[in-house]
């Protein structure tokens, strides 16, 4: 088995865990890490037995590095991806791929020109429960799709230190930082043709808060005539995290808080399965939400991701390694490697922001004209 050398950019919550996963993955070697706070980068390098690089250019130019994992803050993705492409390295970039459509296109174009992959970390596609949802829909279990609704909401209190994740120009706000649900509905429902969004920072202004919108209400219309609404934000005292997909023969509910996926037909429950790979992972997710007291989940760089995230992260890294080596990968994962998932999700998110600022319904034809 050919060995693939990896460099890690960003040694926080996800980046450090990707390093640990690759350190144990057969056919993979963590060569060097870059970026992080305090002594975290040096500690991680010691843990996975690799070098520390102090400049991005030095990491991506190493001859023993074949691929780069970009887990830096959202606003830093573009620089790392472009540097990696310049040096002919394959790229795995955490979501959101970029904070603007023009940046996203520039990144994808650079990777295509260099002949390297740019895989985006839309992790929901690696949840077994969501893979089953896709199969049910493809098999016609709920008939023709009619309407979907998604919520990822909660309430947040003021903080002594305001994270970059709460600043619109650094994170992209809830819509970009939590782009998973938007990406998922686009992958299931197909091309969106119209979008409208109402959004504002209603209840989180002043000291202890960022400047991102805390209430986002989005409506989408799809080429098939299907509709979808999404709610995001930290302005909801009664927080929710779920997705419902309704068809002419039945409906599916993905319940992230209770870690279940339910199929209903004729008003009766046909099947209930776990969202994750094992019962203990589903229980861990449930307990995580119980501890949150209504908040919106963010990763803590001082902690390891829970097992219910580590397992799909392992599957992401295995898929990325296989793609680099031209080995077969699951058909539904190819949209993560051909640029379509990155481009379409960022295109719709940017259009939604413009819709909100102009207070109008926007056609997505202009945003999608250069889609991969």
Question: Hey, what CATH class is 4-121+314-330 in?
Answer: alpha beta
Evaluate if residue 63 carries a pLDDT over 50. Answer: yes
Q: Quote the pLDDT of residue 339.
A: 87
pLDDT tier at 367, thresholds 50, 70, 90: confident
Pairing of strands 250-255, 260-265: antiparallel
> d(Cα 195, Cα 348) in Å, to the nearest integer?
7
Evaluate if residue 48 carries a pLDDT over 70. Answer: yes
Q: Tens digits of per-residue pLDDT, 159-168?
A: 999 999 999 9
Q: Find where tokens 């990491």 sit.
A: 59
Three-state secondary structure readout of 33-64? EECCCCCHHHHHHHHHCCEECCCHHHHHCCCC
Evaluate if residue 299 carries a pLDDT over 70. Answer: no
Q: Quote the pLDDT of residue 37.
A: 66
pLDDT tier at 301, thresholds 50, 70, 90: low
Evaluate if residue 137 carries a pLDDT over 80. Answer: yes
Segment among 56-70, 100-114, 212-226, 298-312 with least mean pLDDT: 298-312
Q: Quote the pLDDT of residue 293.
A: 54
Write out the residue limits of the CATH 3.40.50.720 domain(s) in the chain.
4-121+314-330
Evaluate if residue 232 carries a pLDDT over 80. Answer: yes
Residues in Cβ contact with 220 at an 8 Å cutoff, skipping those fewer than 6 apart = 185, 189, 192, 194, 195, 227, 228, 229, 230, 348
First CA to last CA across the chain, in angstroms?
A: 32
What percent of the chain clears pLDDT 70, i.e. is strictly above it?
95
Which whole number is the average pLDDT over 302-330? 95
pLDDT tier at 112, thresholds 50, 70, 90: very high
Which whole number is the average pLDDT over 95-120? 97
Average pLDDT, the chain: 94
For 76, how many CA atoms within 13 A lie in the half-sphere containing its CB?
Answer: 14
Three-state secondary structure readout of the chain? CCCEEEEEECCCHHHHHHHHHHHHCCCEEEEEEECCCCCHHHHHHHHHCCEECCCHHHHHCCCCCCEEEECCCHHHHHHHHHHHHHCCCEEEEECCCCCCHHHHHHHHHHHHHHCCCEEEECHHHHCHHHHHHHHHHHCCCCCCEEEEEEEEECECCCCCCCCHHHCHHHHCHHHHHCCHHHHHHHHHHCCEEEEEEEEECCCCCCCCCCCCCCEEEEEEEECCCCEEEEEEECECCCCCEEEEEEECCEEEEEECCCCEEEEEECCEEEEEEECCCCHHHHHHHHHHHHHHCCCCCCCCCCCCCCHHHHHHHHHHHHHHHHHHCCCCCCHHHHHHCCCHHHHHHHHHHHHHHHHHHHCCCEECHHHHCCCC
The closest alpha carbon to 5, from 51, 57, 71, belongs to 51
Question: Hey, what CATH class is 125-298+343-368 in?
Answer: alpha beta
Q: How many CB atoms lie within 10 A of CB 86?
A: 14
Evaluate if residue 225 carries a pLDDT over 50. Answer: yes
> d(Cα 131, Cα 192) in Å, to the nearest integer?
21
Are 144 and 307 spatial neighbours (Cβ–Cβ below 8 Å)? no
Which whole number is the average pLDDT over 172-193? 96
> d(Cα 243, Cα 151) in Å, to the nearest integer?
6
Write out the residue limits of the CATH 3.30.360.10 domain(s) in the chain.
125-298+343-368
Evaluate if residue 189 carries a pLDDT over 60. Answer: yes
Tokens of residue 97, six digits: 């791929």
Pairing of strands 260-265, 268-274: antiparallel
Segment among 96-100, 185-189, 290-294 with least mean pLDDT: 290-294
Task: Convert 208-232 to b/e letters by CB count within 10 Å (16 or more is b).
Answer: ebbebbbbbbbbbbbeeebbbebbb
Q: Quote the pLDDT of residue 249.
A: 98
Q: Quote the pLDDT of residue 296.
A: 63
> d(Cα 9, Cα 33) in Å, to the nearest integer?
6
Computed from CA positions of residues 64, 66, 69, 74, in that sequence, does the dihedral angle turn out positive or negative? positive
Which whole number is the average pLDDT over 217-225? 97
What percent of the chain clears pLDDT 90, i.e. is strictly above it?
89
Are 178 and 152 spatial neighbours (Cβ–Cβ below 8 Å)? yes
């Amino acid at each position: 088995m050919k060995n693939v050398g990896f460099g890690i950019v960003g040694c926080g919550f996800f980046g450090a865990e990707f390093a640990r996963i690759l350190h144990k993955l057969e056919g993979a070697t963590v060569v060097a890490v870059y970026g992080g706070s305090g002594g975290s980068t040096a500690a991680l390098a010691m843990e996975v037995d690799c070098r520390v690089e102090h400049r991005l250019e030095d990491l991506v130019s190493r001859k023993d590095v074949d691929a780069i994992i970009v887990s830096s803050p959202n606003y830093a993705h573009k620089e790392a991806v472009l540097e990696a492409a310049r040096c002919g390295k394959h790229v795995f970039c955490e979501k959101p791929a970029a904070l603007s459509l023009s940046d996203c296109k520039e990144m994808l174009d650079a990777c295509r020109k260099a002949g390297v992959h740019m895989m985006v970390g839309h992790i929901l596609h690696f949840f077994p429960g969501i893979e089953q949802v896709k199969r049910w829909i493809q098999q016609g279990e709920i008939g023709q799709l009619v309407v979907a609704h998604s919520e990822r909401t909660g309430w947040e209190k003021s903080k002594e230190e305001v994270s970059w994740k709460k600043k619109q120009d650094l994170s992209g706000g809830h819509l970009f930082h939590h782009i998973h649900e938007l990406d998922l509905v686009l992958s299931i429902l197909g091309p969106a043709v119209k979008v409208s969004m109402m959004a504002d920072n209603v209840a989180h202004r002043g000291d202890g808060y960022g400047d991102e919108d805390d209430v986002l209400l989005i409506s989408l219309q799809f080429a098939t005539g299907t509709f979808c609404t999404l709610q995001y934000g930290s302005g909801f005292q009664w927080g929710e995290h779920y997705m419902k997909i309704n068809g002419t023969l039945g409906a599916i509910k993905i319940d992230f808080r209770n870690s279940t996926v339910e199929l209903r037909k004729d008003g009766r429950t046909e099947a209930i399965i776990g969202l994750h790979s094992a019962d203990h992972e589903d229980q861990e997710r449930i307990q995580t939400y119980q501890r949150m007291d209504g908040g919106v989940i963010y990763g803590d760089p001082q902690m390891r991701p829970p097992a219910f995230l580590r397992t799909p992260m392992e599957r992401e890294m295995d898929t990325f390694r296989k793609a680099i080596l031209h080995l077969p990968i699951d058909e539904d994962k190819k949209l993560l490697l051909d640029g379509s998932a990155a481009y379409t999700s960022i295109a719709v998110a940017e259009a939604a922001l413009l819709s909100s600022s102009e207070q109008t319904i926007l056609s997505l034809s202009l945003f999608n004209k250069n889609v991969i």
